[in-house]
Structure 1
């Protein structure tokens, strides 16, 4: 039986580099498709990314594609990057914490407004993505994969 997740979804990883090095890669959100399986294409209104920047996104899963629009809500250099996806009532964030060894712990989270997805998200998940629970399981795995790719890129330096 598939595990059902309660918001927020999250994953963390340790990167052997200081927050400034992680931020330099993460802040360039034009590269998110290099790290995230679900991100197919993005366009931005306002760059570099700062609070208020809007991104128009095309996401994918297998043969399914769907558009989203996001607004960046927090851009704190070397600490936090967050954006709210308009429609699904979801806020995605990346928190960077300096580690004692000089590295950085990065935590990716997805929070739903009032811990509930909007009706449009539930319908989309059911019709295109195999249901909310299945999509949540895939999102958590995707977070781990995204962070592993970010780690490899930063550590390759």
Structure 2
């Protein structure tokens, strides 16, 4: 299966990086932003490098659990977590701009996916191309929801 190594999107937000960071780094709120994340449970009191999460994801009527570990945590700049089951890394990068913050979300698979993930995507999610297209749309939705929340307050 050909898996795209990078899917990403960016949005400019009229809010300072500290405000955007407060939203992005609160992984308990991920289900408010991402259309695929139904619940993200943070294991521990706070999010930091090494924090683990248990996640319930969904697409249509399909549901599946995943676990993740925060692999990069640089306040007001970068947060990344790796999904154990498929080795994908989801990253949020914040850059200050004249208007506020440029927020970029990306999904990479630096070491390829697992066989289990490949079969699951092929059999349950319509294949890699269809699934990756849905992830791209999901990134856009996530970014727009974070933007709306950051600019509303």
Same fold judged by TM-score > 0.5?
Answer: yes
Q: 1:16 to 1:5 in 2, by over 3 A?
A: farther
Map of 1:23 onto structure 2: 21
Map of 1:151 onto structure 2: 147
1:61-80, aligned counterparts within 5 Å?
61-80=59-78
Q: Is the 8 A contact 1:47 1:53 kept in 2?
A: no
Q: Deviations over 1:61-106 (max 9, x none)?
A: 00100010000011111000100000201110000000123x1000
RMSD over aligned Cα atoms:
1.2
Other structure's SS at 2:21 match: helix
Candidates 99, 104, 124, aligned match of 1:107: 104
Other structure's SS at 1:47 match: coil
Gaps of 5+ in 2: none
After the TM superposition, list the runs of 4 or more consecutive aligned residues in structure 1 that deviate by more than 3 angstroms. Answer: none
Gaps of 5+ in 1: none
Other structure's SS at 2:50 match: coil
Map of 2:120 onto structure 1: 124
Distance 1:119 1:35 in 2: 29
Q: Is the 8 A contact 1:5 1:137 kept in 2?
A: no
Other structure's SS at 1:125 match: helix
Q: Is the 8 A contact 1:58 1:66 kept in 2?
A: yes
